[in-house]
Chains A and B, each alone.
Chain A
Amino acid sequence: MENQLRTLRGERGWSQAELANRLDISRQSVNAIETGKYDPSLPLAFKIARLFGQPIEAIFRDR
């Protein structure tokens, strides 16, 4: 899956660690999601969508 996480995070000026704290996950997991090496579960994807105020499909797309 592709995602817009890095872009959305950059727009808000958050570091990976700050985003990790907001999502209650590790910084390494944020990095793995951003680089497409890990696809989050649906609950986490919803959490990310809520945090950025966007629908899931606007953040995650099938390759």
Chain B
Amino acid sequence: MFSNRQIAFYGSIGVAVVGALLIWFGAAAVVLRLFGGDTQAAAPWLALAKFASLAWVALTGWAIAWRRLDERQQETRKFSWFIGSTAAILVTAPLMLFWLVNGGAMLDAVVGGRATPGAFFALGWATLLLAQLLGSLLARAERWVAER
């Protein structure tokens, strides 16, 4: 049985996800209509719609869900993000050296035929974010085990 707190929490997640889908598909429908279905011409605006959608998820998912957490849950997340993501940055830092020295071919393979500066930047950003999320998850798991 869910408590009121849990219902409110999952409800806020639902608002974030449904809102994002509405923004994404709603904006896409409007943009495509404006450009007469020309997806090439509409591509930058479609990308902007995706960005707005993701921004909505990030803002609502973070702001609303955060306020629904009690103080211990907030403390746990602060701890796990600080410790886990900091450790992840330190652990993955040597990768930079590897990539600088001989990682070019490997990165080319990852981005495929789209080896542009933008693709490499996005890859680096996503890799670091992934490492931070993973580190945070591990730190959270440690706290969960410790508090059982």
Contact = CB atoms under 8 A, between A and B. Distances in A.
Interface of A: 17, 20-21, 24-29, 32-33, 37-38, 40-41, 44
A29 B5 contact: no
B3 A29 contact: no
Interface of B: 3-5, 70-73, 75, 146-147
Contacts of B71: 25, 29, 40-41, 44
A44 to B, nearest CB: 6
Chain A interface, >50% SS class:
helix
A26 B72 contact: yes
B147 A26 contact: no
A33 B71 CA distance: 12
Chain B interface SS verdict (over half): helix
Given A32-B147, A38-B147, A21 B72 contact: no
A32 B70 contact: no
Contacts of B5: 20-21, 24-26
9 contacts: A20-B3, A21-B5, A26-B3, A26-B5, A27-B3, A28-B73, A29-B70, A33-B72, A40-B71
Given A26-B5, A27-B3, A37 B147 contact: yes
Contacts of B147: 28, 32, 37-38
Given A26-B5, A28-B72, A37-B146, 19 more contacts: A20-B5, A21-B4, A21-B5, A24-B5, A25-B5, A25-B71, A25-B72, A26-B3, A26-B72, A26-B73, A28-B147, A29-B70, A29-B71, A29-B72, A32-B72, A33-B72, A38-B72, A38-B147, A40-B72
